[in-house]
Structure 1
Amino acid sequence: MSYKPSWRSFASVTASNIGTVFDSNTVDRSEDNIVGAFDVEEIDTDLFRSLRLYIPAGARGVYGGQVIAQATLSATKTVRPEMKLHSIHCYFIFAGDPDIPILYQVTRIREGKSYATRSVQARQRGKAIFTLMCSFHTPEPGLSHQLPMQELASIPHPDTIKPEENTFHRWISEVEAKKKKMEDDAADGEATTKMEDLLSLLKMKLDESRISPVETRLISNHLEEGTGKTGKSTRMLWFRSRAPVPPVDAMRKAFVAFASDFHLIGTVSSALGLNFRTSKPRLAMMVSLDHTMWFHNDIEPSQWMLYVMEAPWSGGARGLAHGKIYSMDGTLLVSVSQEGMIRVETEKKRKTIEASAKL
């Protein structure tokens, strides 16, 4: 099978050609396309290779949730079919390059009757960029309990919430109006260039939200948060798959792993009152450092799931976020934790950060 490079390369996208780079009318919503986002191919014993790679708008490397999903599926392909994934623990080491495939080397740590343990190392150019440890369990009967999701009744139904594209449309209109005013006022070239860059990024974000495998409804519009003052330390959203995911436990968990990284660390920036647009200081860089998931119950990706996130702590240019994913009836499906790096822009460091874009 031939390697398919990134879904789209943002390096070549500009404000003038974005309409031709993205065409939401031709987006493939088929099952094959959505599975291709996180599936891998086996090229040798316990060695797997990515099929597609994806860079979010404005990001410096491959989307972390995709690497988690692909590494998880690689490990799953080496255990007995009756065993189910119940936990993963990951570290992001270097940004992934979307122009070459990622190789996933699986090591069989333990092969027990009830439990199996795997480690996965993701590599590019002979260097590890990501590591994952995961555990599998043969289902067995046992006692159970769950803290009730008491707020569920007061949370708006996803069908009553507007798509996040609406916010991007409004932002684009606002920025276009500001840009025109700056041009009319003969503003300095640097300020106009910044406005053009922001407009290009917002257009990419808009098209990205349209064609993402994950459909999202933002309960509290955290896209609006970040004013330079302390903001909300919690956020909630509904999400589901845009197309059917095969009725296979490993694929369904891979989808949730893929989706779990989209908004989680942003809870920390919201708690700090930071964003990339208007906050002072402005958010300069936000990167996931590690990611942990515990899978509790069966998942149906085509049904709406509630993602409840909170940021209990931040300091020293790092922040911690926790998440819980529920079904619509309040069943706890997945628990998530993540630490990320949060850096703010200063005049002294701005050019250095933009030039290096690395830890």
Structure 2
Amino acid sequence: MADRSTLLRPPPDDPKKAQIENALEVTELAVLGPNMFTNTRQPWHPPGARGIYGGAVIAMCLAAAQRTVAPDFLVHSCHCYFLLAGSSEQPILFHVEQVRDGRSFATRTVQARQRGRCIFTTTISFVRDSSNGDGNSGEVSHASGLPLGPDGQPLQPPPDDYADEPELMTQGPFQGTKIEVVSPEGGSDKPGDKKTRQWVRARGTIAGGVAAQLEALAYVSDSYFIGTITRIHKLWRFPFKAEEYGQLPEDLQAKVKTLHQWEGLGEDPREMVGRPAIGMMVSLDHTIYFHEPRKVRADEWMLTEMESPWAGDGRGVVMQKIFSKDGTLLATCVQEGLVRLQQPAPEGKESKL
């Protein structure tokens, strides 16, 4: 049988749902066994990436797991491992195991499989919703606040009618602002002291309630994540040398310049001549802690702030905070990835671009 991206024929997109909801829809396969699901539509394979976008797999695993718990249980943590690059040309099967159902917590593991091989695995923990409590339980409580701008005031989201994205960046289910690389007061240039910030939101209005909002947040949590290492270290990431930028056709130069600026690397790609280049960058694991699941509105502006406490031995760790536009800390995420610099070509051999 020829390769196909879904096990069943994809239905038309539901116009009542946001683009992200259609992209993350999963279909139950009761005929194959209990708690089996598959992707309803073809997942996105980013240009130049080894496999499909990891955030889509995370979110679809969460979607499948949420279908197996009681409606009064909400996700509070998700611990994931990327094992193999996923193909956009093969269906994905999601195997959900009901590990435990307690009075306060429920645990699920989900394996995403293609052609019988596990490409991704996650353990997801749910907690019984306590939003109906009186709020006077005496529990310990604190949260990081929305970062402050140069004026000392909390950062403000873009306007609701924001439309300043370059056309090149308007194709996905999320829209965002240009990434800003921020150095601490005093101007430290150490990579570990820098942070990146970006406002993001899902396009359209999410109609599927809390579950769909949480899946959308899981999806966007993987966006530009491990790539934070390239921004704080100012590493060249394109599949040709920075010295060759001026030799590209003008339309390609324009695209590279747009991406370069959008990712907070500077105004002119030619400034990167002589900088180290990324040879390989792959996500290894990914953790999300959902702090305020009922307050997640992924179709409203959210601020992502990322920083890296450590990189070495060919790996890097990045931590991310996701805030709502009113300053609520919605989630904290951690990712480790493989980060290898491009090595010089052996003497007498040309590099393969």
TM surpasses 0.5: yes
Q: Give yes or no for the alignment of 1:306 onto 2:330.
A: no
Identity of aligned residues (%): 36
Contact 2:181 2:195 in 1 (8 A): no
Contact 1:158 1:238 in 2 (8 A): yes
- Where in structure 2 are there 5+ consecutive unaligned residues? 1-6, 183-188, 243-271
- Where in structure 1 are there 5+ consecutive unaligned residues? 6-26, 166-205, 223-228
Deviation at 1:3, TM superposition (A): 3.8
Q: Give yes or no for the alignment of 1:322 onto 2:319.
A: yes
SS of aligned partner of 2:180: coil
Aligned to 1:177: none
Return closer, same or farther for 1:162/1:156 CA change in 2, 3 Å cut-off. Answer: farther
Output aligned runs, 1:100-179, within 5 Å.
100-140=90-130, 141=133, 142=137, 143=139, 144-151=141-148, 153-155=153-155, 157-159=157-159, 163-165=164-166
TM-score, structure 2 normalization: 0.74
Deviation at 1:149, TM superposition (A): 2.9
Q: Which amino acid aligns with 2:216?
A: F
Contact 1:244 1:301 in 2 (8 A): no
TM-score, structure 1 normalization: 0.73
Q: Deviations 1:196-233 (Å, cap 9, x if unpaired)?
A: xxxxxxxxxx64x21110110125169xxxxxx96573
State the distance in 2 between where 1:289 and 1:346 align. Answer: 21
Aligned to 2:39: 50
Q: How many residues are matched?
A: 286
Q: Deviations 1:121-178 (Å, cap 9, x if unpaired)?
A: 110010100000001111224433223335162535423987452xxxxxxxxxxxxx
Aligned to 1:68: 58
Contact 1:65 1:258 in 2 (8 A): yes
Q: Deviations 1:287-341 (Å, cap 9, x if unpaired)?
A: 1110000111121122101111111110011100001111112111111110011
Aligned to 1:217: 177
Deviation at 1:354, TM superposition (A): 7.4
Return closer, same or farther for 1:51/1:320 CA change in 2, 3 Å cut-off. Answer: same
Runs of 4+ in 1 over 6 A off after TM superposition: 351-355
Q: Give yes or no for the alignment of 1:332 onto 2:329.
A: yes
Aligned to 1:199: none
State the distance in 2 between where 1:62 and 1:155 align. Answer: 33
Q: Give yes or no for the alignment of 1:246 onto 2:207.
A: yes
Return closer, same or farther for 1:148/1:157 CA change in 2, 3 Å cut-off. Answer: closer
Q: Give yes or no for the alignment of 1:2 onto 2:8.
A: yes
Aligned to 1:15: none
Return closer, same or farther for 1:252/1:324 CA change in 2, 3 Å cut-off. Answer: same
Return closer, same or farther for 1:29/1:234 CA change in 2, 3 Å cut-off. Answer: farther
Return closer, same or farther for 1:38/1:339 CA change in 2, 3 Å cut-off. Answer: same
